[in-house]
Amino acid sequence: MTNALSRLLATHEWLMADGATGTNLFNMGLEAGEAPELWNSDRPDDIRALYRSAVDSGSDIFLTNSFGGNAGRLKLHGAQGRVHELNRLAAALGREVADAAGRPVVVAGSVGPTGEIMAPLGTLTHEIAVEMFHAQAEGLKAGGADVLWIETMSAPEEYRAAGEAAKLAGMAWCGTMSFDTAGRTMMGLTSAGLVDLVEKLPDPPLAFGANCGVGAADLLRSVLGFFAQGTERPVIAKANAGIPKYHDGAIHYNGTPALMADYAVLARDAGVRIIGGCCGTMPEHLRAMRQALETRPKGPRPTLETISAALGAFSSASDGTGDDAGAPKRERRRPR
């Protein structure tokens, strides 16, 4: 399937994605508990500014403001009937910005979890999940998104349902999961498990990887886990800008632009093809990442020791796979 992202991947060693959506919107005035997707209709200029800040900072790909744009999440705000509209607007605003960039920029339609638990542990069936994701995908497609960007998943069943919805919509897709509990997703999947899942899908993603989670060091440990399985599919890394800390009534991330620049180079050297940031990643982080990627020479694939020395200790002693031979000693962080 030919699309803007596959064309860029064919001609570039690496691509830079964007940073945080939520953190940037909170800085623009988004209130806790408010649905960001409503800003697509209520404050479109702010959404354009969000997208433009990523492009101006060097991003080749940016995600639309549609992470929670499925019926399950929008129902919490009485907006479950606006799925198509809000997703179409999210992508259409992105299309405006990308088309004015003067260079190829990919509009990636963000699709986050439903917020419900899949059966048999919960009540969300595969069929209903596919229907919810498909409705969102069709809105993003109508607005001009180049690809679907399924992100921050923790359950393999939900990842699989979102991928099926992408196929129904006739769209190429990327899919990332969040590894945040001793190298596993919230539902227990390991980095090796994600590679196995992806390769067995009837319509696999164009690229896959990890986003969010704990910190940049932990995310890169999961990335090394992908490569240990011998995958040749393009890998995505979108790490948080450091570790979240709560003070003065808000969440702050301690990752400096310099740290995120180091992370970006380590990700590239590990073999990651799409490198970006997640929570806490601001334009200043992206600019530092872009400069480092363009100016620092490529090095060997980093070891766990190299990663922890550059980015800080891992949050747990285990990467979740049960094989920690040769891993450095790591400090445990106290629960937050």
Query: Average pLDDT of 101-110?
Result: 98
Q: For residue 327, name the pLDDT band (cuts at 50, 70, 90).
A: very low
Among 25-34, 195-204, 320-329, which stretch is predicted with the lowest mean pLDDT? Answer: 320-329
What is the reported pTM? 0.93
* Residue range of the domain that includes 151: 4-311
Q: Is residue 34 part of a domain?
A: yes
More confident residue, 249 or 230: 230
Q: Cα angle vertex 149, ends 113, 167, to 5°?
A: 90
Distances (CA, A) of 253 to 81, 241, 316: 35, 6, 19
Cα(20)–Cα(273) distance, integer angstroms:
19
pLDDT at residue 324 is higher than 90: no
Query: Average pLDDT of 196-220?
Result: 96
The number of angstroms, rounded, from the C-alpha of 235 to the middle of its chain's C-alpha atoms is 11
Q: Is residue 331 part of a domain?
A: no
Provide the β-strand partners of residue 198: none
Quote the pLDDT of residue 332. 30
Query: Average pLDDT of 39-52?
Result: 98
Q: Is residue 101 part of a domain?
A: yes
Quote the pLDDT of residue 126. 96
Q: Is residue 89 part of a domain?
A: yes
Quote the pLDDT of residue 18. 98
Quote the pLDDT of residue 319. 83
Q: Which helix (H) or strand (E) holds 210?
A: strand 207-212
Quote the pLDDT of residue 173. 98
Quote the pLDDT of residue 320. 79
Q: For residue 13, name the pLDDT band (cuts at 50, 70, 90).
A: very high
Among 19-23, 104-108, 220-224, 319-323, which stretch is predicted with the lowest mean pLDDT? Answer: 319-323
Quote the pLDDT of residue 195. 98
Quote the pLDDT of residue 85. 98
Quote the pLDDT of residue 129. 97
Quote the pLDDT of residue 57. 98
pLDDT at residue 325 is higher than 70: no
pLDDT at residue 336 is higher than 70: no
CATH of the domain at 52: 3.20.20.330
pLDDT per residue over 121-148, tens digit each? 899 999 999 999 999 999 999 999 999 9
Cα(242)–Cα(336) distance, integer angstroms:
14
Cβ neighbourhood burial of 325 (10 Å; 0-12, 13-18, 19+): exposed
Q: For residue 1, name the pLDDT band (cuts at 50, 70, 90).
A: low
Q: Is residue 213 part of a domain?
A: yes
Q: Is residue 328 part of a domain?
A: no
Q: Is residue 330 part of a domain?
A: no
Residue 66: which residues within 8 A CB-CB, separation 6 or more? 37, 40, 86, 87, 90, 91, 109, 110, 111, 136, 139, 140
- Number of domains into which the chain is organized: 1
Beta pairing class for 250-253 and 244-247: antiparallel
Quote the pLDDT of residue 181. 74
Q: For residue 254, name the pLDDT band (cuts at 50, 70, 90).
A: confident
SS3 percent helix, strand, coil of the chain, rounded to 5, is 45, 15, 40
- HSE at residue 25, side-chain half, CA atoms within 13 A, is 26
Quote the pLDDT of residue 334. 32
Q: Is residue 316 part of a domain?
A: no
Quote the pLDDT of residue 103. 98
- Number of DSSP helices (H) and strands (E) in the chain, helices first: 13, 10
